[in-house]
Amino acid sequence: MSAPPRTATEAVEAIRAGQLSARELWLACQAAATDDELNAFTWVADADDGPNEEAAALPFAGIPLAVKDLFCTEGIPSQAGSRILRDYRPPYTATVVRQLLDAGASLLAKTNQDEFAMGSSNENSAYGAVLNPHDRGRVPGGSSGGSAAAVAAGIVPWALGTDTGGSIRQPAALCGIVGLKPTYGACSRYGMIAFASSLDQAGPLTRSVADAALLFSKMVGRDPCDSTSLAFPEAIELPRSERLDGLRFGVPDELTGEGVETGVRAAFEASVALVEQLGASVERCQLPHAPHALAAYYLIAPAECSSNLARFDGVRYGLRVDSQDGSLEEMYSRTRAEGFGAEVKRRVMLGTYALSSGYYDAYYGRAQRVRTKIAEDFRAAFERFDFILTPTSPTAAFELGARTSDPLAMYLSDFCTVPMSLAGIPAISIPNGASGGLPVGLQVVGPAFSEPRLLDAAHALELAHADRVKTIALPSPLRFEGNENGAAGARE
Amino acid sequence: MLDRDQVLHVARLARLELTHDEVERMSRELSAVLDHIETISELDLESVAPTSHVIEIANALRADEPRPSLSREVALAGAPAVAEEGFEVPTPGS
């Protein structure tokens, strides 16, 4: 073959055709991950632990996969970006990871992330910030920033992330790749270190929509270990659409106006014109409660986080800091003080406050009612439209440190992605050209369990966007033996 | 607005020891976030039912069949302190 495979789908095809071996690809990715300068990884497999001959016959042909650190992987560090879980090696593997390994993916690396998935810049990791491969002075987005940076930089073909309020879609947008947040319940959460259980979903970060569909097709399914998971109602096929004829797209005023920076808006408007050229209709619409989504989210997510993170207490796993007075309570509070970073503490405090006696109805109860209104807004919109279109992030990647001193400004990064999370509906971010030389994302949103149609529409848009997206493509870091130019040589 | 005493009360509920600086910062930062959150108090939500789960599922049951679980040894492997085949903790209440 003349060049390293650009996508996972191409890599699988190249292995099938005998143009590349799974082993060669593993070694090239392993070397690139070891040499990584973006701080994208918290653990990288040994070169010797690559796929065996049998893997080539499986659907994923043994190609490497990077997995966000918060997925439990048996015997392999799973630290969720937190000091409190330093060197924690779980006794079991998350269902979603297990399914992908069974389908023939090879676990190459665990990726850096914001601590317990709380953050939009990856600066909240106890293992250091991740750098954006397009500009190392900027953030990759978060919380799945390591996964996004690794895929965008071409170090791994694809990666697994999780999305609670935008943690797959926003870093995908800021790094110029594809990120899918599935319908809540489509993929098992068993073995995902929990942040906000009513919102958390696993999903793919990839370099093409077809790759997202391919990875997602093996992630779905009901898991007896997660009572909120459901059997996906249909098979996930590879997307093939090249047109959007007859489809109706809605553009909500509330998520496309104020707060969206000029370059992002220009890219968005260009993509709206493209949707029409592909045969679809586009109309403006309203999601009247969307402006309240962020407020509801920053009550619901911290409330659930304060409850979920109660398990980190220095008893069963992770860090313990001994008490000075010999009491159990002081051991808890010193362990948590030492083990949690500033943002996690902030959210644990906010959530504990919102759930505390006397405030529950005013905060958590109210937020859950707002959530109902947001879901109703989407249901009403989907009676008129097949899909909703918004920018993924109101800005392109910001500079490292730019928002760390202002939590509220950081939270505003999520204002286009949080409403869909609250409604539990699927949304995909695809590359949408650039603003000031930095990648910009386009978010396509559909009703619950519409992923097959959503992926098809995103695929048609991806094809039509190809020229604009080429401008942000990065050179592959993969080096194959016997070819100094980084291209895989012809094999026997 | 969250004052110093409220911050300390919530920190106690959350089992989180805060330094003097953290108490000051928490008071300031949480107050700013709560101010933003206050915007939902403008909405009329009287007749609206709360949503705790977005996708309709009823009775997600599985067969109640015994199956192997983690061995004691494996379950204790990650513990910071172990005593008599259990998790060791300081004496509760002092």
Chain B: give the shortest CA distance to residue A46, in Å: 23
**H or E stretch covering A207:** none
ipTM of the complex: 0.95
Q: Is A68 a catalytic residue?
A: yes
Distance in angstroms (rounded) separating the CA atoms of residues A419 and A452: 21
Catalytic residue among A120, A125, A143, A229: A143
Residue A25 lies in a domain: yes
Segments forming the whole domain that contains residue A321: 292-365
Predicted pLDDT of residue B1? 77
On whether both A68 and A141 belong to a single domain, the answer is yes
Residue A260 lies in a domain: no
Domain count, chain A: 2
Chain B: give the shortest CA distance to residue A439, in Å: 29
Predicted pLDDT of residue B94? 52
Measured in degrees and rounded to the nearest 5, phi and psi for residue A184 equal -60, 130
Q: Tell me the residue type at A34.
A: T
Rounded average pLDDT over B12-37: 94
Residue B89 lies in a domain: no
Predicted pLDDT of residue B4? 94
Give SS3 for A264: helix
Residues 29-88 of B with CB under 8 A from A: 29-30, 32-34, 36-41, 43, 45, 48-55, 57, 60, 62, 70, 74-75, 77-81, 87
Q: Does the beta-carbon distance from A407 to B33 stay under 8 Å?
A: yes
Residue A112 lies in a domain: yes
Predicted pLDDT of residue A484? 46
**H or E stretch covering A205:** strand A201-206
Residue A180 lies in a domain: yes
Interface test with A, best of B40, B52, B71, B72 (most A CBs within 10 A): B40
Distance in angstroms (rounded) separating the CA atoms of residues A65 and A151: 10
On whether both A238 and A296 belong to a single domain, the answer is no
DSSP string, chain B: ---HHHHHHHHHHTT----HHHHHHHHHHHHHHHHHHGGGGGS--TTPPP-S-SS----------------HHHHHTT-S-EETTEE--PPS--
Predicted pLDDT of residue A286? 97
Q: Tell me the residue type at A180.
A: L
Measured in degrees and rounded to the nearest 5, phi and psi for residue A91 equal -85, 5
CATH number for the domain that contains residue A193: 3.90.1300.10
Other CB atoms within 10 A of residue A238 CB? 14
Rounded average pLDDT over B84-92: 90
Residue B73 lies in a domain: no
Domain count, chain B: 1
CA-nearest of A393, A430, A397 to A415 is A393
DSSP string, A24-75: HHHHHHHHHHHT-SS--EEEE--GGG---GGGGGSTTTT-EEEEETTB-BTT
Q: Does the beta-carbon distance from A227 to B70 stay under 8 Å?
A: no
Give yes or no for a cis peptide into A147 (omega within 30° of 0). Answer: no
| Chain A positions in Cβ-Cβ contact with residue B16 (cut-off 8 Å) | 333, 336-337, 340, 345, 348-349
Residue A149 lies in a domain: yes
Distance in angstroms (rounded) separating the CA atoms of residues A408 and A403: 9
Residue A315 lies in a domain: yes
Q: Does the beta-carbon distance from A448 to B39 stay under 8 Å?
A: no
Predicted pLDDT of residue A482? 56
Q: Does the beta-carbon distance from B50 to A371 stay under 8 Å?
A: yes
Structural tokens at position B82: 């172990």
Residue A345 lies in a domain: yes
Predicted pLDDT of residue B93? 63
B54 or A341, which is more confident?
A341
Of A331, A365, A399, the one marking the end of a domain is A365
CA-nearest of A110, A115, A114, A107 to A85 is A115
* pLDDT tens across the length of chain A (492 residues): 457 899 999 999 999 999 999 999 999 999 999 999 999 999 999 999 999 988 889 999 999 999 999 999 999 999 999 999 999 999 999 999 999 999 999 999 999 999 999 999 999 999 999 999 999 999 999 999 999 999 999 999 999 999 999 999 999 999 999 999 999 999 999 999 999 999 999 999 999 999 999 999 999 999 999 999 999 999 999 999 999 999 999 999 999 988 899 999 999 999 999 999 999 999 999 999 999 999 999 999 999 999 999 999 999 999 999 999 889 999 999 999 999 999 999 999 999 999 998 999 889 999 999 999 999 999 999 999 999 999 999 999 999 999 988 888 888 889 999 999 999 999 999 999 999 999 999 999 999 999 999 999 999 999 998 887 777 889 999 998 755 444 443 333
Q: Does the beta-carbon distance from A346 to B40 stay under 8 Å?
A: no
- Give B52's pLDDT tier (boundaries 50, 70, 90): confident
Residue B52 lies in a domain: no
On whether both A58 and A157 belong to a single domain, the answer is yes
Segments forming the whole domain that contains residue B23: 4-41
Residue B64 lies in a domain: no
- pTM of the predicted model over 0.80: yes
Predicted pLDDT of residue B92? 75
Lowest mean pLDDT among A28-37, A464-473, B8-17, B36-45: A464-473
Q: Is A188 a catalytic residue?
A: no
Predicted pLDDT of residue A491? 37
Other CB atoms within 10 A of residue A51 CB? 24
Residue B70 lies in a domain: no
Residue B13 lies in a domain: yes
Distance in angstroms (rounded) separating the CA atoms of residues A124 and B89: 30
Query: Residue B32: closest CA among chain A residues belongs to which residue?
Result: A408
Of A325, A347, A365, the one marking the end of a domain is A365
Of A365, A387, A416, the one marking the end of a domain is A365
Candidate from B48, B52, B93 with C-beta closest to A198: B52
CA-nearest of A113, A74, A130 to A195 is A113
User: By CB neighbour count within 10 A (0-12 exposed, 13-18 middle, 19+ buried), where does A402 fall?
Assistant: middle
CATH number for the domain that contains residue B14: 1.10.20.60
Q: Does B23 touch chain A (CB under 8 A)?
A: no
Catalytic residue among A78, A147, A167, A229: A167
Residue B88 lies in a domain: no
On whether both A55 and A126 belong to a single domain, the answer is yes
Predicted pLDDT of residue A408? 84
Residue B72 lies in a domain: no
Q: Is the pLDDT of residue B59 over 60?
A: yes
User: By CB neighbour count within 10 A (0-12 exposed, 13-18 middle, 19+ buried), where does B89 fall?
Assistant: middle
CA-nearest of A169, A350, A108 to B33 is A350
Residue A399 lies in a domain: no
Arithmetic mean of pLDDT over chain B: 91
Q: Is A429 a catalytic residue?
A: no
Structural tokens at position A157: 């073909």
